Amino acid sequence: MDAFNEKSITKNTITRASSYLRVIKNLRSLGFVRVYSSNLADALGLTPAVVRKDFSALGLEGKKKGGYLIDDLIARLEDLLGAQKPRKTVVVGCGRIGRALIESQELRREGIQIVAGFDVAPPPPDEQGEVPIYHVDMLQSFVQKEGIKVGILAVPSHAALEMFQRMRLAGMRGFLNFTTVNLKCQEQCPHGCEEQCIIIQINIALKLENLFHMVHITEHHPELLRE
Amino acid sequence: MDAFNEKSITKNTITRASSYLRVIKNLRSLGFVRVYSSNLADALGLTPAVVRKDFSALGLEGKKKGGYLIDDLIARLEDLLGAQKPRKTVVVGCGRIGRALIESQELRREGIQIVAGFDVAPPPPDEQGEVPIYHVDMLQSFVQKEGIKVGILAVPSHAALEMFQRMRLAGMRGFLNFTTVNLKCQEQCPHGCEEQCIIIQINIALKLENLFHMVHITEHHPELLRE
């Protein structure tokens, strides 16, 4: 069964925990020693009750009126989230989007290491860049040897399901899905894997479609919008 | 004020309305004439009550036991969402991600027309592709002449805020933001624009970070996960 589905509190709690860690690190760099649930709530547009509930669910305790000690919180959130581990990932499908991600300086600056790309038609040796692009048949052995758990899927949609299954078989558990196929962790993997996996969909066409629709409603049916 | 904030029911209702339209069109192509709230709920992983509530909020009415007539629903959803209008957009920032989007066949197949790109350093005439890339100083006149309302922001983060403001000044109202900057529609635009705008953030680094965190918790702190 999928550990996190779109509606579960757990996935949202962990997503917020990543944000808490970012904000708290910023506060530490500004010289703060303590942080209150209301500080985090303000910074992230949440209510203090949500922050306290998350902290409680994550086993993070504070002093009633003294807030939370920042050094303590950072250490515990980093341990909980595995935030100090290297973030090594691979890109499967090295078309335009895949290559753009592989070459992205911005991802590197954010600490994401794309260590290899995989494609059905990898470029010849003299056209390889800094990050090697291998044939997809190399995926399983590479990923298992390097212990890669998170992958980016950027193949054409017709190849999405097959590549997703290959990535799962190779032991990958987290997927950033740029295809238009709505991938799901089946309850029972056809290959008998029992581990859960997590998929984040980035369907660019769908997001753009939503924007067109929302702008249209703003302009033509403003009466439907709530204040 | 922002018409849609992340928590408002309205934005989610419209996002779901886009999905309803997709599903209903598929059903029509399969020969269906009527659809029930439970059909849509099943297809999209929602509850029938949510579907009925959305339809009611959008002014779509059905017959109590007869469900909704598909042709009727499609006509009304398309009118509501402006779904038959051409979806013309531009990309601001033509680095690796921006160019990948401009050249994407997948977006074209989904009916998204990227009609121009803008960059501080556009390529010379002999290196231009099918979609022209102009200097950002041309943005305002182009967008106003073509009536473009939705734009894709893919500049380096340090330039995000300035370009966002230029796009708003040009009359754009919907933004797909690929930068790591968390853009907001200010309550009062510094240039006095009063119209609302809608921003969808696609922070790839943050999504990947979340995946690493979630996979780590699945593997190392499974006791925190709810079943």
Question: In this prediction, what percent of chain B has a pLDDT beyond 90?
Answer: 59
In this predicted structure, what is the pLDDT of residue B161? 93
Q: Which residues of A touch B176 (CB under 8 A)?
A: 204, 207-208, 211
CA angle B139, B145, B147 (to 5 degrees): 90
> Is residue B3 scored above 70 in pLDDT?
no
> Is residue B23 scored above 80 in pLDDT?
yes
Annotated binding site of B for NAD(+): 93-98
**Closest-CA distance of chain B to residue A143, Å:** 15
Residue range A74-96, pLDDT digits in tens: 999 999 899 888 899 999 999 99
Q: Which CATH architecture has domain B9-81?
A: Orthogonal Bundle (1.10)
In this predicted structure, what is the pLDDT of residue B194? 55
> Is residue B150 scored above 90 in pLDDT?
yes
Indicate yes or no: CB of A217 within 8 angstroms of CB of B59.
no
Residue range A29-75, pLDDT digits in tens: 999 999 999 999 988 888 999 999 889 888 887 776 778 999 999 99
What residues 42-101 of chain A have any CB closer than 8 A to a CB of chain B? 45, 57-59, 80-83, 85, 87, 89, 96-97, 99-101
Nearest alpha carbon to residue A153 among A107, A139, A1: A139
In this predicted structure, what is the pLDDT of residue A98? 96
Q: Which residues of A touch B14 (CB under 8 A)?
A: 210, 213-214, 217
In this predicted structure, what is the pLDDT of residue A6? 35
Task: Establish whether this prediction's ipTM goes over 0.95.
Answer: no
Instruction: Please tell me which of the candidates A100, A110, A215 has its beta carbon nearest to residue B198.
Output: A215
Instruction: Please tell me which of the candidates B9, B106, B152 has its beta carbon nearest to residue A157.
Output: B106
In this predicted structure, what is the pLDDT of residue A186? 64
Q: Which residues of B touch A156 (CB under 8 A)?
A: 106
Residue range B157-216, pLDDT digits in tens: 899 999 999 999 999 999 999 998 888 876 555 555 555 788 999 989 989 999 999 999
**Region for A74 from its dihedrals, namely left if φ exceeds 0, alpha if ψ lies in -120 to 50, beta otherwise:** alpha
Summarize the confidence of residues B12-24 as an average pLDDT. Answer: 89
Residue range B29-81, pLDDT digits in tens: 999 999 999 999 988 888 999 999 889 888 887 776 778 999 999 999 999 89
Summarize the confidence of residues A171-179 as an average pLDDT. Answer: 94
> Is residue A227 scored above 60 in pLDDT?
no
Taking the C-alpha atoms of residue A218 and residue A212, their distance in angstroms, rounded to an integer, is 10
In order of B4, B156, B181, B193, B198, the CA distances from B184 in angstroms are 11, 17, 9, 14, 9
Indicate yes or no: CB of A213 within 8 angstroms of CB of B14.
yes
**Residue in chain A lying closest to B18 (CA):** A210
Indicate yes or no: CB of B204 within 8 angstroms of CB of A89.
no
Domain segments of chain A as ranges: 9-81, 87-207
**What is the side-by-side strand order in the sheet with B174-177?**
B133-135, B112-119, B87-92, B150-153, B174-177, B198-201
In this predicted structure, what is the pLDDT of residue A8? 38
In this predicted structure, what is the pLDDT of residue B138? 97
Residue range A183-219, pLDDT digits in tens: 887 655 555 555 578 899 998 998 999 999 999 988 8
State which CATH number among 3.30.420.40, 3.30.70.2200, 3.40.50.720, 3.40.1030.10 fits the domain covering A87-207: 3.40.50.720
Residue B199: its H or E element: strand B198-201
**What is the side-by-side strand order in the sheet with A133-135?**
A133-135, A112-119, A87-92, A150-153, A174-177, A198-201
Which residues have a Cβ under 8 Å from the Cβ of B225 and sit 6 or more positions away?
Answer: A3, A4, A10, B217, B218
In order of A1, A7, A58, the CA distances from A195 in angstroms are 9, 20, 22
